[in-house]
């Protein structure tokens, strides 16, 4: 048995959840007798389980194989600007425990790190089956060393060696990845990208990021910086962005941009049902409040959301022409809240601007995964890493 064949086979079974020996032979081109030998070896080592049968295609119903979900439990952590979310999952990504607390990023680096450590520690104290830690956050990450080079949201969050920090403190393997990518990984494993090889996951929250899958592979780019959709230019002479450039998509279509545009309309005295809220509690002006107002036919709110959708559709038309994907999945707080109010103008702009042949049949959908998707994706990532060492 070649180790490369073993690793390849186990990864296929992990990706497909339940798979028959025959379909493994079809997918790998390896001889069925050789597959049977490998599978027997993996079963004897406790890595594989038999469970269920595929629907009959006329012949004998095929026995399905899956990885043993109890191979290990894993911790997934997502550090966001508002919340820290932690999950424990089994080896296949099924969530066993959840923890969430406010990030309190204003309190600085050490406070945030201590919150993360106390969450991880409380899981480890209760579950001795935990064998790895996956961490996700945004910012500039050196994936090889698992170091966050720069994250401007927290004072002092520069060159933070999270991977080596976790590994030395807990004696467990760790991985660190960009949170939009871990969400896309969760989407591919459990969500709307299941079974898709060419898709783009776009996250629209306070910022805008994306993760790109081409031929089943996630694109990282030379420095791991691929996918910065929010900082592609849609107006060369447009407003200044936090990145120092002008006219970035993020300035026109992010949650921050939506609130900002609403605020400037209200400041100019445009009639809106949100005028009173703006006057009394300006800090409560949120994307959710704007969506609710738009649903109640507030024209300014509807216009602001529609403009954001149009800008997103314009940017996505560029992606569609560039990559010709099968599917685009929209995740994050803005599409989750705005749904059709964002999607309709987005589709109109996309269909007007993308090549018709690329746009026809393209599926654009809003994610249905829950708020823990980023943390679950991080635990899936660490499971994949452990799998290579186990085989
Ligand atoms: Zn920018």
Q: What's the confidence (pLDDT) of residue 315?
A: 97
Expressed in angstroms and rounded, the spacing between residue 241 Cα and the centre of ligand 1 is 5
Which chain residues have CB less than 5 Å from ligand 1, an ion? 231, 241, 243, 245, 248
Expressed in angstroms and rounded, the spacing between residue 233 Cα and the centre of ligand 1 is 8
Expressed in angstroms and rounded, the spacing between residue 315 Cα and the centre of ligand 1 is 13
Expressed in angstroms and rounded, the spacing between residue 248 Cα and the centre of ligand 1 is 5
Average model confidence (pLDDT) across the chain: 94
Expressed in angstroms and rounded, the spacing between residue 216 Cα and the centre of ligand 1 is 28
The whole-angstrom separation of Cα 156 and Cα 145 is 19
Q: How confident is the model at residue 52 (pLDDT cuts 50, 70, 90)?
A: confident
Expressed in angstroms and rounded, the spacing between residue 246 Cα and the centre of ligand 1 is 7
Q: pLDDT digit string (tens) for 114-123?
A: 999 999 999 9
Using CB atoms within 10 Å of the CB of residue 8, give its burial: 0 to 12 exposed, 13 to 18 middle, 19+ buried.
Answer: middle
Expressed in angstroms and rounded, the spacing between residue 232 Cα and the centre of ligand 1 is 7
Expressed in angstroms and rounded, the spacing between residue 242 Cα and the centre of ligand 1 is 6
Expressed in angstroms and rounded, the spacing between residue 222 Cα and the centre of ligand 1 is 20
Expressed in angstroms and rounded, the spacing between residue 249 Cα and the centre of ligand 1 is 7
Strands across the sheet with 48-53, in order? 19-20, 63-67, 48-53
Non-local (6+) Cβ contacts of 294 within 8 A are 301, 302, 304, 305, 338, 341
How large a percentage of the chain has pLDDT more than 70? 99
Q: Which residue has the higher pLDDT, 32 or 55?
A: 32
Residue 88, H or E segment: strand 83-89
Q: How confident is the model at residue 54 (pLDDT cuts 50, 70, 90)?
A: confident
pTM of the model: 0.91
The whole-angstrom separation of Cα 76 and Cα 92 is 13
Report, as an integer, the average pLDDT of 9-21: 88
180 close to 229: Cβ distance less than 8 angstroms: no
Hey, what are 227's tokens?
């996918």
Expressed in angstroms and rounded, the spacing between residue 258 Cα and the centre of ligand 1 is 15
Q: pLDDT digit string (tens) for 153-188?
A: 899 999 999 999 999 999 999 999 999 999 999 999
Q: In the chain, what is the greatest distance between 2 CA atoms, to the nearest angstrom?
A: 76
Task: Give all domains of the chain, ordered by start, each with its CATH number.
Answer: 3-67 (1.10.10.10), 71-185+372-390 (3.30.420.40), 194-366 (3.30.420.40)
DSSP 323: H
């Amino acid at each position: 048995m070649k180790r490369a064949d073993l690793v390849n086979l186990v990864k296929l079974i992990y990706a497909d959840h339940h798979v028959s020996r025959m379909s493994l032979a079809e997918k790998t081109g390896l001889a069925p007798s050789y597959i049977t030998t490998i599978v027997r070896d993996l079963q004897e080592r406790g890595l594989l389980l038999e469970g269920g049968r595929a629907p009959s295609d006329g012949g004998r119903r095929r026995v399905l194989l899956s990885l043993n979900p109890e191979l290990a439990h894993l911790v997934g952590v997502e550090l966001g600007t508002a919340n820290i979310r932690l999950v424990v999952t089994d080896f296949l990504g099924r969530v066993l425990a959840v923890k969430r607390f406010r990030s309190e990023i204003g309190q600085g680096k050490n406070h945030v790190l201590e919150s993360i450590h106390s969450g991880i520690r409380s899981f480890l104290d209760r579950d001795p089956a935990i064998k790895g830690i996956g961490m996700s956050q945004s910012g500039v990450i050196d994936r090889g060393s698992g170091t966050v080079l720069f994250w401007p949201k927290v004072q002092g969050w520069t060159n933070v060696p999270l991977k080596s920090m976790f590994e030395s403190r807990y004696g467990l393997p760790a991985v660190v990845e960009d949170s939009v990518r871990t969400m896309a990984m969760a989407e591919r494993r459990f969500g709307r990208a299941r079974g898709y090889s060419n898709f783009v996951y776009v996250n629209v929250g306070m910022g805008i990021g994306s993760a790109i899958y081409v031929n089943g592979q996630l694109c990282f780019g030379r420095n791991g910086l691929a996918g910065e959709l929010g900082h592609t230019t849609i107006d060369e002479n447009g407003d200044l962005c936090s990145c120092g450039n002008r006219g970035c998509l993020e300035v026109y279509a992010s949650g921050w941009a939506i609130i900002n545009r609403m605020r400037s309309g209200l400041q100019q005295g445009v009639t809106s049902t949100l005028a009173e809220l703006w006057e009394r509690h300006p800090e409560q002006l949120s994307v959710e409040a704007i969506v609710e107002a738009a649903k109640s036919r507030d024209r300014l709110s509807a216009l602001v959301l529609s403009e954001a959708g149009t800008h997103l559709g314009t940017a996505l038309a560029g992606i569609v022409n560039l990559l010709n994907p099968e599917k685009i999945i929209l995740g994050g707080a803005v599409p989750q809240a705005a749904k059709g109010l964002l999607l309709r103008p987005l589709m109109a702009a996309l269909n007007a601007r993308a090549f018709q042949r690329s746009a026809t049949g393209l599926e654009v959908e809003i994610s249905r995964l829950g708020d823990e998707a980023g943390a679950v994706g991080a635990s899936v990532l660490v499971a994949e890493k452990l799998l290579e060492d186990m085989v």
